[in-house]
Amino acid sequence: MFNRILNNKNIYKLFLVQLMLILMSSCAQNSANKEIHDPLESMNRSVFKFNQGLDKYVFKPINTEYEKLPENVKKGVSNHVKWASTPVTIVNSAIQLEAENFSTSSIKFLLNSLTLGFYDLDPETKYKTRDFGSSLANYNVSSGPYIVLPILGPRSLRHFSGNIVDQSVSNGPKNHSYNSTTLPMSILSNRNTYSNVIEDIYNAQDPYLRAKILYTENRFNSISSTKLLEQQKQDEQDEFEKLLD
Model pLDDT for residues 106-152, shown as the tens digit of each residue? 999 999 999 999 999 999 999 999 999 999 998 989 889 999 999 98
Q: Is residue 43 one of the residues assigned to a domain?
A: yes
Q: Is residue 211 one of the residues assigned to a domain?
A: yes
Q: Is residue 116 one of the residues assigned to a domain?
A: yes
Q: Is residue 8 one of the residues assigned to a domain?
A: no
Reported as a pLDDT band with limits 50, 70 and 90, residue 35 is low
Reported as a pLDDT band with limits 50, 70 and 90, residue 181 is confident
Mean pLDDT in residue range 50-56: 95
Taking each continuous run of H as one helix and of E as one strand, the counts in the chain are 14, 2
Whether 94 has a pLDDT exceeding 50, the answer reads yes
Q: Is residue 17 one of the residues assigned to a domain?
A: no
The residues pairing with 148 across neighbouring beta strands, listed in sequence order, are 154
Q: Which residue segment(s) compose the domain that 92 sits in?
A: 36-244
* Relative orientation angle of helices 226-244 and 9-35, to the nearest 10 degrees: 140
Output DSSP code: residue 68.
T
- Give the pLDDT score at 17: 45
User: Which element (helix H / strand E) includes 245?
Assistant: none
Residue 140 amino acid letter: N
Domain total in the chain: 1
Residue 44 CB neighbour total at 10 angstroms: 20
Which pTM was predicted? Answer: 0.73
Mean pLDDT in residue range 40-65: 95
3-state secondary structure (DSSP) of residue 177: helix
Q: Is residue 149 one of the residues assigned to a domain?
A: yes
| Maximum pairwise Cα distance, the chain | 77
Mean pLDDT in residue range 155-175: 79
Q: Is residue 9 one of the residues assigned to a domain?
A: no
Q: Is residue 22 one of the residues assigned to a domain?
A: no
